[in-house]
């Protein structure tokens, strides 16, 4: 799988995903550390990467745009370190792969994982 790790998560998370056999980059590696969320969203879409983040900005962008890509994984847990987040992600990736490939928002919470297929609200509105 291809991942883009947002600034809200440490760069070593991308390193650890790469060590697990995934293609992963942190926004800093792509010179996007000062980029807006919209720009990061565009890169993830263009490069077919799954966005990993701790803030909800990318979910908001998906909802506003009615897009079906990119998939977004949000970590909304008390645990913040990659050493705690990555095992939970790795343990669940095989069962989430179909949703993430099709386009989804996956939210990891302390007691559950929520999956919502994209587009979130029926897709883009009519063209004008």
Distance between CA atoms of residues 67 and 52, nearest Å: 17
- Determine how many CB atoms are found less than 10 A away from the CB of residue 83: 12
pLDDT at 79: 83
pLDDT attached to residue 126: 39
Predicted local confidence at residue 125, as pLDDT: 41
How far is it, in rounded angstroms, from Cα 97 to Cα 92?
A: 9
**One digit per residue, pLDDT tens: the chain, 128 residues?**
999 999 999 999 999 999 999 999 999 999 999 999 999 999 999 999 999 999 889 988 988 889 999 999 999 998 878 888 999 999 999 999 999 999 999 999 999 999 999 998 755 543 33
CA distance 58 to 71: 9
Residue-level pLDDT at 50: 98
**Phi, psi angle pair for 40, to nearest 5°:** -65, -40
Question: What is the model's pLDDT at position 63?
Answer: 87
Helix (H, G, I), strand (E, B) or coil at 50: strand
pLDDT for position 83 = 84
User: Which pLDDT score is estimated for 128?
Assistant: 35
* Whole-Å CA distances, 64 to 42, 48, 54, 61: 14, 19, 19, 5
């Amino acid at each position: 799988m291809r991942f883009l790790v947002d600034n809200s998560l440490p760069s070593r998370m991308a390193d650890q995903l790469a060590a697990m056999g995934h293609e992963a980059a942190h926004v800093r590696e792509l010179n996007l550390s000062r980029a807006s969320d919209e720009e990061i969203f565009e890169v993830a879409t263009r490069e077919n990467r799954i966005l990993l983040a701790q803030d909800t900005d990318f979910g908001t962008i998906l909802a506003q745009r009615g897009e079906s890509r990119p998939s977004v994984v949000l970590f909304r847990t008390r645990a913040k370190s990659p050493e705690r987040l990555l095992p939970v992600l790795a343990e669940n990736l095989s069962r989430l792969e179909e949703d993430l490939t099709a386009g989804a928002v996956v939210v990891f919470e302390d007691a559950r994982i929520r999956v919502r297929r994209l587009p979130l609200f029926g897709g883009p509105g009519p063209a004008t």
